[in-house]
Amino acid sequence: MNTLASDFQRMPGHWVLASLGKRVLRPGGLGLTRVMLEQLHIGHDDDVIEFAPGLGVTASMTLQRHPRSYVAIEQDERAADTARSYVSGDRRQVIVADAQDVPLESHTATVIYGEAMLTMQSPVQKEQIIREAARLLKPGGKYGIHEMSLANPTIDPQRRKEVRQDLARAIRVNVAPLTSAEWIDLLENHGFHVLAVQTAPMHLLHLKRLLEDEGISGFLKISGNLLRNRQARQRVLEMRRQFVKHAAQLQAISIVAEFRPK
């Protein structure tokens, strides 16, 4: 197997999609991202922190709202370099750090959000990231998440394990979605009061969602790249098969919560 083929075999699924030209990599697509941002009510007086902005689609939408400040937290230099390509200007910065341990003072943000990142963390890491968001937020500040969720609130443990294992094999990263109630409990256990919950189908690789998120030109670009790259095509089809197989068990979820320390 040549190096390129080997890379596509090992590469995390979101980077495979990004390499093909896909820009929207969130479980609920642009639609659910827009809902989350509307419910966060970002304005000129807000100090915003975004965990893992990735290709910057949501960051650009946030910056168009002209918050007082914006900080992107990326885990490594490669991702930070990508973020620096769209984050510039006064009171705009990119910090290389783990979302579990951000080198900023406590109570410095009025809005924090992250998308498609908590799902890939272990239970301990989920707790640490949400605890860090609580530390960084001012009382009354808002925290938004946009993640993958288990649609069945009483899912059988064995079925949950099967979903996790199938998705992890296809995406090549840890995948541990929670039910809506579990996501809510996780936030409430760290001083958050849930303000809004919105769900959407997990249709990341469905034709309708692709057209909605990427537009016709973006869809044609992705399609052309898929036709030219057999290894990437195999990975995308593998991911789509698992999403379809577990469609009844999966959904996207957005939750916006207010930090209310006791």
Whether residue 122 has pLDDT greater than 90: yes
In this structure, are residues 83 and 74 in contact, taking their beta carbons and an 8 Å threshold? yes
pLDDT at 38 over 80: yes
- Which pLDDT score, from 0 to 100, does residue 63 have? 96
The pLDDT of residue 4? 46
The tokens 């939750």 sit on which residue?
A: 255
Strands (E), the chain: 47-51, 69-74, 92-96, 109-115, 137-150, 178-179, 192-201, 250-259
Q: What is the mean pLDDT of residues 44-70?
A: 96
Question: How far apart, in whole angstroms, are the C-alpha atoms of residue 49 and residue 112?
Answer: 5
* Alpha carbons 26 and 35: distance in angstroms, whole number: 13
Q: What average pLDDT does the chain have? A: 94
CB count in 10 Å sphere of residue 139 = 10
Distance of alpha carbon 199 from alpha carbon 52, whole angstroms: 21
Res 62: pLDDT: 97
- Is the pLDDT at 5 greater than 60? The verdict is no
Q: What is the pTM of this model?
A: 0.94
Domains and CATH numbers, the chain: 3-259 (3.40.50.150)
Model pLDDT for residues 208-261, shown as the tens digit of each residue: 999 999 999 999 999 999 999 999 999 999 999 999 999 999 999 999 999 999
